Amino acid sequence: MKAACIQLVGLAAIAASLSGCAYSTSADQDISEPVSSEQALASHRPICTKVGTAKEGWRWADTNKLIRHADCEGLTPRCQYVGSRSEGWYADGLIAWDMCAAVARVHRMGEACGPSIGFSCDTAGSWCHGLPPAGVIGGSGICQPYGFCSDASECSLPENQWVHDAVPGFAQCVDSQCVWIPEDCHTTADCLDGYACTGIPSDGSTKLGKCHSTSPVEGEGATCTAVQPCGEGLGCIGLSMGDEGWCVPSWMLAEFTNAKTYGTTSNVVVYGQATVPVDIVVSGKLNKNDPSKLTLQLTDPNGVAAIVCSPATAPCTKDGLAQGISVEGNSRDDQVNGRWTLQVKGSGAPKIVTWTLHLSSRWD
């Protein structure tokens, strides 16, 4: 009778293997629903277990076998370096080498990806290019290397993890490749071809300029108003002095803020602009609820001082300073780049808390 029972168990195991189901006796685990070989494969991935204990670490989800002890709470294991000798699971480093592409449903560079087909890309060096915008269900794309692009907007997508120099600048898509255009420069040699180092102040306040394109922008010079804006890549200047302005490259409009100097005098250094100012607007905040008896004065890089607001002209108000006051007394035909100084005068220990100089410029 005992031999017959052993034979029955053996036959059951053979039947389970032929049907593609995992089988075990109660000596190994609790009796439960059969698990298909496909389900068993899908669960063969690292998970972080025993969090907060001395035994915290990575274990295989299907066997609970320890891979290694580690502080793994909050980390997400990813299958990377697919198709290479380094293929395996990674989080803050290597978890385990493993042929994981089928389990994680990860494709290599040049292969299809996206929610419509259920495959992602190998995040060690690629991203899924060509997916529809956020909010659109489904879609598919092709795994492309980091830095691949169709237009500049794709260079700022978080999933396109290309790297560039950690300097101020902006991205452009050049020949299907994201390229970082540095803003700050010492000479034109620091800029890419077709760009010039512009707006280095002559007063010594900084040795920097900014790289700007030398190519004309379509629509440059056209008339604009508050309700008739300029086209893409352009900005409307001159509206602080009248109802109509004209269109210039958008880099000719800029804001410069000082929120660090708490005192009667505060400076901002303007650089990277054209040659002479057009719009000069000051906004800011003082330490007084009623600034109407105070005088604000703005001095440009050429030493010309102009009154922003005062009891003798137009009184300073909190709302007026918050919205911005157009300053008319500074020269519109002299250097725009350099040190601009705002000074508050009056009784009661007035202080400048923060202020912003809103400028536009043109070529003289």
pTM for the model stands at 0.61
Alpha carbon distance 80, 99 (integer Å):
10
CA distances from 178 to 146, 152, 166, 259, 268 (A): 9, 7, 15, 34, 32
User: Model confidence over 101-128: pLDDT tens digits?
Assistant: 999 999 999 999 999 999 999 999 999 9
What is the model's pLDDT at position 9? 37
Amino acid, single-letter form, for residue 97: W
What is the model's pLDDT at position 23? 37
Bridge partner residues of 161 (DSSP) = none
User: Model confidence over 14-32: pLDDT tens digits?
Assistant: 343 334 433 333 333 333 3
What is the model's pLDDT at position 3? 44
What is the model's pLDDT at position 184? 92
Which ranges in the chain are annotated with CATH 2.60.120.260? 252-362
CA-based torsion, 318, 324, 326, 327: positive or negative: positive
CA distances from 26 to 14, 17, 23, 30, 228 (A): 17, 17, 10, 5, 79
What is the model's pLDDT at position 202? 96
- The class that CATH gives domain 252-362 is mainly beta
Residue owning tokens 């496909």: 38
Flag whether pLDDT at 37 surpasses 60.
no
What is the model's pLDDT at position 2? 41
What is the model's pLDDT at position 28? 36
Residue 335: phi and psi, rounded to 5, are: -55, 130
Q: pLDDT higher for 42 or 281? A: 281
> What b/e string do you get for 175-214 counting C-beta neighbours within 10 Å, with b at 16 or more?
eeebbbbbbbbeeeeebeeebebbbbbeeebbebbbbbbe
Average pLDDT, the chain: 89
Tell me the mean pLDDT in the region 279-291: 97
CA distances from 31 to 26, 35, 242 (A): 6, 11, 84
User: Model confidence over 212-247: pLDDT tens digits?
Assistant: 999 999 999 999 999 999 999 999 999 999 999 999
Least confident of 127-141, 241-255, 279-293, 303-317: 127-141
3-state helix, strand, coil in the chain (%, to 5): 10, 35, 50
Confidence of residue 42 (pLDDT cuts 50, 70, 90): low
Going by C-alpha positions, the residue among 177, 179, 167 that lies closest to residue 210 is 167
Alpha carbon distance 34, 170 (integer Å):
56
CA-based torsion, 166, 167, 171, 172: positive or negative: negative
Would you call 318 exposed, middle or buried from its count of C-beta atoms within 10 A (0-12, 13-18, 19+)? middle
The SS3 call for residue 247 is strand
